[in-house]
């Protein structure tokens, strides 16, 4: 059943409510039809019982020579009367009490023996047994066309003198009849429930959809307006909590950026002063060594600040052509050192400077430690995939993940951009993750290392 259910919350709620309504209404129609059949059957039986009781009253008071005339007058195409010395109904059926009570009530006495036998026929009643008048033939044929169940009732009522009045009647229990008038209320109920449910579900689903979109934008570093606190009380409480969380996150990010900016300034100033003082010294082995140490410290400080800053979270998102960006990066490393395979312009919404730094770092590593970088860009249904493969020796399997940790280096450093401090790949992963993407390393089938970058696609991503 789950395969046929809608995927959205609103669609599932609407489908379940409509399904419940259809099931309950179907059961109601079945029960109503059964009650209708019982009512029709009881009405037909009681009508025959009333006629039989009235005939008994006439026979009790009429002379014997008028009995035949009374019976002929009482006969009809559906009810036959006869007088015999023996009763045709020798026992009572389980559902005969209502008929017997009707006869007793009309006769005004309960000492008369009455037998009522009601049973369904196991074969269709032959039409020749019932002399149907021409004006009733059309109605009779329509009833028979619905294949109704034939029911026979035999009454035997004791008469004075030991004789019995036998009454035989045959009627049809009508089959299911669903007229447009019967189905119209069901249709109107389903329609009204569908409209009301759609409106009600919309009040719940719309705020949830807005919450999901805002959470996605907040996770990607995009600015978003506070959510309108609308809908049921639980939804309003959720919106209120999200707005408070968003305010705290935004304020925390702003305070962290200001703190890191001040820290960056405070660290760069003494390093610059040290570099100037070293420049005033005579060029000796010690001064050169001090200069190299200051440069290393400057590089490490810059890399550490970039990593701690969350790799430029404040940089705005823009739409760029990834194919063109990779073509420029491949060209920058020099002829013959890198090749690119990409089909057509592929747009992506990214932080341009950050993503450029991350991809350049991966390409430079492939060129520096793998001789050549083979870059491939392709668009998949849910992601933009960039593969950067080299022809180097690869890495041991246990180091493919640890090299992304800060200040962790492989046996032969794969990151010269930060002077071998072990922050290059950590910063690269932080940048990719800030774009809701992933970056992984794996050893190629034919050797070398393969860096795979997956960036999510959105409304602005795709082939131009």
Q: What is the pLDDT of residue 237?
A: 86
Three-class DSSP category at 238? helix
The predicted pLDDT at position 375 comes to 93
CA gap 147, 175 in Å, rounded = 7
The predicted pLDDT at position 377 comes to 94
Q: What is the pLDDT of residues 412-423, one digit of tens each?
A: 444 444 445 567
Tell me the pLDDT band of 27, cut-offs 50, 70 and 90. confident
Confidence of residue 439 (pLDDT cuts 50, 70, 90): very high
- For 348-392, what is each residue's pLDDT tens digit? 988 888 899 889 989 988 888 888 899 999 998 889 999 999 888
Helices marked H in 62-133: 67-74, 97-107
d(CA 414, CA 366): 8
CA distances from 74 to 63, 318, 361 (A): 16, 98, 110
At 452, the pLDDT band (50, 70, 90 cuts) reads: very high
Q: Are 121 and 95 within 8 A, CB to CB?
A: no
Closest CA to 153 of 163, 141, 167: 167
pTM of the model: 0.48
Sheet with strand 164-173: strands edge to edge: 79-84, 164-173, 149-158, 114-120
In degrees rounded to 5, what are phi and psi of residue 418?
A: -105, 20
Q: Which helix (H) or strand (E) is 439 found in, with range? A: strand 438-443
Mean pLDDT throughout 40-60?
75
More confident residue, 104 or 306: 104
Dmax (CA) of the chain: 158
Q: How far apart, in Å, are the Cα atoms of 407 and each of 170, 226, 400, 423? A: 99, 39, 15, 6
pLDDT at 148: 56
Provide, rounded to the nearest whole percent, the portion of the chain with pLDDT above 90. 7
Q: Which two tokens stand for residue 137?
A: 């033939």
**pLDDT one-digit tens code per residue, 398-438:** 888 888 877 666 544 444 444 455 677 888 888 888 888 89
Print burial letters for 130-143: b (CB count within 10 Å at least 16), e (below 16). Answer: eeeeeeeeeebeee
Considering Cα of 258, then 261, then 267, then 270, what sign does the dihedral take?
negative
More confident residue, 247 or 179: 247
DSSP 132-172: --HHHHHHHHHHHHT-PEEEEEEEEEE-TTS-EEEEEEEEE
Q: How many whole angstroms separate alpha carbon 58 and alpha carbon 128?
A: 30
Contact by Cβ (8 Å): 157, 116: no
Q: Which domains does the chain have, with CATH numbers?
A: 2-178 (no CATH), 260-308 (1.10.287), 318-463 (3.30.565.10)
**Cβ neighbours of residue 347 closer than 8 Å, sequence gap 6 or more:** 319, 320, 321, 322, 460, 461, 462, 463, 464
Give the integer Cα–Cα distance in Å for 142 and 177: 12
Write out the two tokens for 151: 């029911």
Quick one: 434 exposed, middle or buried, by C-beta within 10 A (0-12, 13-18, 19+)?
buried
Question: Residue 126 has what pLDDT?
Answer: 47
**CA neighbor of 403 nearest in space, from 378, 428, 433, 386:** 428
The DSSP symbol for 174 reads: -
Compute the distance between CA of residue 156 and CA of residue 113 in angstroms, rounded to an integer: 8
Sequence-separated (6 or more) residues with CB below 8 Å from residue 98? 42, 45, 46
Residue 78 has pLDDT above 90, yes or no: no
């Amino acid at each position: 059943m789950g395969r046929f259910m809608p995927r959205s919350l609103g669609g599932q709620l609407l489908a379940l409510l409509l399904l419940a309504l259809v099931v309950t209404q179907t059961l109601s129609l079945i029960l109503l039809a059964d009650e209708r059949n019982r009512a029709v059957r009881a009405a037909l039986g009681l009508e025959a019982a009333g006629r039989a009781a009235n005939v008994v009253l006439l026979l009790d008071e009429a002379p014997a020579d008028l009995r035949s005339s009374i019976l002929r007058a009482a006969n009809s195409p559906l009810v036959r009367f006869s007088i015999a010395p023996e009763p045709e109904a020798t026992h009572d059926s389980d559902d005969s009490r209502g008929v017997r009570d009707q006869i007793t009530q009309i006769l005004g006495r309960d000492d008369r023996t009455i037998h009522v036998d009601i049973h369904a026929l196991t074969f269709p009643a032959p039409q020749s047994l019932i002399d149907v008048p021409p004006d009733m033939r059309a109605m009779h044929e329509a009833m028979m066309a619905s294949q109704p169940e034939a029911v026979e009732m035999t009454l035997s009522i004791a008469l004075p003198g030991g004789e019995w009045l036998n009454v035989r009647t045959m009627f049809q229990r009508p089959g299911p009849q669903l007229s447009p008038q019967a189905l119209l209320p069901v249709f109107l109920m389903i329609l009204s429930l569908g409209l009301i449910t759609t409106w009600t579900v919309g009040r719940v689903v719309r705020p949830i959809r807005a919450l999901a979109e805002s959470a996605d934008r907040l996770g990607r570093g995009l600015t978003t307006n506070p959510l309108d606190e609308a809908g049921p009380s639980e939804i309003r409480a959720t919106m209120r909590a999200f707005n408070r969380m968003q305010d705290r996150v935004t304020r925390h990010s702003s305070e962290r950026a200001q703190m890191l900016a001040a820290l960056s300034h405070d660290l760069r100033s003494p390093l610059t002063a040290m570099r100037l003082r070293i420049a005033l010294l005579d060029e000796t082995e010690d001064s050169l060594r001090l200069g190299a140490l200051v440069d290393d410290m400057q590089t490490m400080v810059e890399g550490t600040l970039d990593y701690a800053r969350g790799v430029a979270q404040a940089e705005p998102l823009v739409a760029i052509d990834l194919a063109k960006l990779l073509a420029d990066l491949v060209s920058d490393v020099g002829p013959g050192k890198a090749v690119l395979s990409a089909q057509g312009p592929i747009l992506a919404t990214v932080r341009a400077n950050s993503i450029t730094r991350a991809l350049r770092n991966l390409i430079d590593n492939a060129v520096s430690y793998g001789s050549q970088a083979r870059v491939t860009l392709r668009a998949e249904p849910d992601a933009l995939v960039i593969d950067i493969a080299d022809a180097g020796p690869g890495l041991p399997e246990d180091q493919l993940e640890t090299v992304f940790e800060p200040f962790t280096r492989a046996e032969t450093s794969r990151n010269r951009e930060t002077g071998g401090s072990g922050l290059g790949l950590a910063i690269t992963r932080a940048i990719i993750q800030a774009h809701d993407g992933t970056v992984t390393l794996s050893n190629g089938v034919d050797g070398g290392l393969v860096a795979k970058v997956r960036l999510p696609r959105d409304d602005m991503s795709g082939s131009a």
